[in-house]
Amino acid sequence: MTDSSTPQGSPSSQPGPSGTLAAEGVTRHFAGVKALSDVHLEVPAGRITGLIGPNGAGKSTLVNILSGYDRPDEGRVLLGGVDRTRERSYRRTRRGVARTFQHGHIFKEQTILENVQLGALGVGRSSRAARREAIEILDRFDLLEHAGESAAHLPHGVERRLGVARALATRPTHLLLDEPAAGLNDGEMELFKSAIRSVVDDLDVGVLLIDHNMRLIFGACDHIHVLAAGANVVDGPPETVRADPRLAESYLGSMAATIAGGDDA
């Protein structure tokens, strides 16, 4: 399932160890639920890798494992070719693996600027550098005009972009985005897509993008993996995956299971 054209780990000193973040033969079961079975996936630097699949396919479970919030029962997580499977999330963040969550994780009592600054402070930036970087990032995500606003009651589109901006403030080499665009309108989606592309092109970040919005996935990604019922189905460039009958089958299989009263895998 891996792509032979994937660049292999090529460590660089700026901004941190780069290369590929990879899941290798990852299996994770929860009390009888086979969330992931022998899954392979690579997130190379400088590319947007999409991860799609029906509800319950195992996408969030894989992100939890890649980011150190969970551990696989079998298989490995490699960063730049080095085994980091047992390493906890905060260590992995320091090595450059950042993530967003499907829901929340915004500090409501802080301003938008402070939320992003905290991301930078959390990885050891001085307060001056953190502020400067936060302003740059807010500008990239068209959030600068909201910098001084409280994060307590944000419009949905602003909150989603803030989640990504905060993750970016940790200066990641790899950014894992779990449904970052849910609920964005068309205009916000386009802004979001170009902000992510600029992050990848300017900073050589490797992005893993999970979303149910196929227009975003097929419009933004360089390479797409399809997961269904916890297993790899197909992966390749967008046009190859779009033309592959297994893409539709994996979604139809899930709908058939739902209609038949099975669970949503």
Ligand X SMILES: Nc1ncnc2c1ncn2[C@@H]1O[C@H](COP(=O)(O)OP(=O)(O)OP(=O)(O)O)[C@@H](O)[C@H]1O
Per-residue binding letters, 246-265, with ligand X (x by CB under 6 A): -------------------x
Measured N-to-C along each axis, helices 127-140 and 186-203 cross at an angle, to the nearest 10 degrees, of 130
By CB under 6 A, tell whether 61 contacts ligand X.
Answer: yes
By CB under 6 A, tell whether 59 contacts ligand X.
Answer: yes
Select the span of 57-65, 122-130, 146-154, 199-207 touching ligand X (CB under 6 A): 57-65
CA dist., res. 118 & res. 169, Å (int): 8
- Within 13 Å, how many C-alpha atoms sit on residue 124's CB side? 6
By CB under 6 A, tell whether 55 contacts ligand X.
Answer: yes
Residues 207 and 48: beta-carbon distance below 8 Å: yes
- Tell me the two tokens of residue 242: 């779009």
Q: Measured from the CB atom, is 30 or 90 closer to ligand X?
A: 30
By CB under 6 A, tell whether 56 contacts ligand X.
Answer: yes
By CB under 6 A, tell whether 123 contacts ligand X.
Answer: no
By CB under 6 A, tell whether 30 contacts ligand X.
Answer: yes
Q: Is the bond into 15 cis (omega within 30 degrees of 0)?
A: yes
Select the span of 27-35, 84-92, 93-101, 189-197 touching ligand X (CB under 6 A): 27-35
CA dist., res. 176 & res. 75, Å (int): 19
By CB under 6 A, tell whether 119 contacts ligand X.
Answer: no
Residue 102: φ, ψ to 5°: -60, -35
By CB under 6 A, tell whether 241 contacts ligand X.
Answer: no
* CB 110 to ligand X: min, Å: 27
- Tell me the two tokens of residue 149: 């606003």
* CB 137 to ligand X: min, Å: 26
CA dist., res. 75 & res. 94, Å (int): 22
Residues at the interface with ligand X (CB under 6 A): 30, 33, 35, 53, 55-61, 265
